[in-house]
Amino acid sequence: MAAIKAKPFAFPAKTDELALIVIDMQRDFAEPGGFGASLGNDVSRITKIVPDVKRLIEGFRGAGLPVIHTMECHKPDLSDLPPAKRDRGNPVLRIGDEGPMGRILISGEPGTAILSELAPVDGEIVIEKPGKGAFYATELGDVLKERGIKQLVFAGVTTEVCVQTTMREANDRGYECLLAEEATESYFPEFKAAAIAMIRAQGGIVGWTARIDDILEGIARV
């Protein structure tokens, strides 16, 4: 075991129980013409973290630790897309609509793909999820149980929505959760700051947060 420098206190990393989960680093959220941009968001906030996410992924690969990727997407027939999700607001494009990179957030479409710089390598697990949390209606829980994983390091987007939702789901299931601060982002900087504060409040009520350098130093020791 190695103690990773973190807040609100050191994270007790265990090499045989630790995995990295990279949440929704997809073209639809990070590139012009995608779903994120269609909602009026500044997608450059997402692309700026790509080098840090890549550094974290490479650190886990180099240490021989599992990397799991998630993708928010739906079936082509939209059978797993609730009307309440598709119909909310007044966006330029809705989930399932045809956009510049194919149908928005539909499995197999070009825009749904993970950014090429962060693409999974052979042997890495990719979880397609229809909701914000990665445990809802997916095989993630079974995957982690089969591999004896009990500790999760998180990266990806957006901090306050899919990342925090998955961390809360994991916390309720008994996982110890650590968020890599520079490897996550929001379209709204104040939302990222608030989510980080919520996660580590009250003695780490949801989990820990840490800098990438400290995480990489820690996993190199375990």
Distance, CA of 139 to CA of 203 (rounded, Å)? 30
Residues contacting 112, CB < 8 A, separation 6+: 26, 27, 28, 71, 73, 102, 105, 106
Whether domain 2-27+43-89+111-221 has CATH 2.40.50.140: the reply is no
pLDDT tens figures, 141-175: 999 999 999 999 999 999 999 999 999 999 999 99
Confidence band, pLDDT 50/70/90 cuts, at residue 222: low
- pLDDT exceeding 90 applies to what percent of the chain? 96
pLDDT tens figures, 39-64: 999 999 999 999 999 999 999 999 99
pLDDT higher than threshold 90 for residue 1: no
- Residues serving a catalytic function are 24, 129, 162
- pLDDT exceeding 70 applies to what percent of the chain? 100
Indicate the pTM of the whole model: 0.98
Distance, CA of 221 to CA of 200 (rounded, Å)? 24
